[in-house]
Amino acid sequence: MRFGRRELADLAIAWIALGVAFALFFTPPLRQILLAGDVDLLLSGPVFRSFALSMLTAGIGFLLHELAHKLVAQRFGQVAQFRADYGMLFLAVASAFAGFLFAAPGAVYHRGRITKRQNGLIALAGPVTNLVLALGFAALALFATGFLGTVGTFGVGINLLLAGFNMLPFGPLDGRTVLSWSVVVFAIAFVVSAGSAVAVFLTFGIGL
């Protein structure tokens, strides 16, 4: 897999920004701490724990999702690069600070001759990666304790959320591209990802 300097910088900045956004969203006290400007609390263990938890779950889920798109695109002979959307990254952090979350950090853009099937497989690679990650985090949640167990629990929920959301057949989301290629493949992927996400959230909920 080949990367340019700008692409590596975009990936790193998007990963950090999403880590901050998810930490703020799932840990409401962080917003009060920031507003109060309490330096001691900002440097405390719980704040770093929330940020680390977010980076290791939402951050990794996003990063590997985008790298899966890039890898498959390059396998099909495409020129593919991730580009961060800095306006949307700012919106992600600002919305999380306000108490809701809207995250569209950027995308992998690819060009070159390609079939509808190949384009569908490139799109499908992202949500499938999140489903595989959810299985890996589930094993961590079952067998690890303490902070690693918490990482596993949140990793399951967040990766299922990412898979289910990206399989929606609207706008620039992956689901629309998959649906335009194959109704059957879309239906299977959508039911598995969205169904698993709904089941997990209704059964266990999620929160830091």
Q: What is the DSSP string of 58-109?
A: IIHHHHHHHHHHHHHHHHTT-EEEEEE-HHHHHHHHHHHHHT------EEEE
Position 146, amino acid: G
Q: How far is CA 84 from CA 58, 70, 90, 105, 182, in A?
A: 16, 14, 11, 6, 29
Task: Compute the chain's Rg from CA coordinates.
Answer: 17
66 flagged as catalytic: yes
Question: Of 27, 55, 56, 66, which is the active-site residue?
Answer: 66
Q: How far is CA 7 from CA 23, 155, 156, 165, 194, in A?
A: 24, 25, 27, 24, 30
Residues 150, 52: Cα–Cα separation, whole Å? 11
3-state secondary structure of 178: helix
Q: What angle do CA 188, 189, 194 make, to 5 degrees?
A: 110
Which DSSP symbol is given to 43? T
What are the catalytic residues? 66
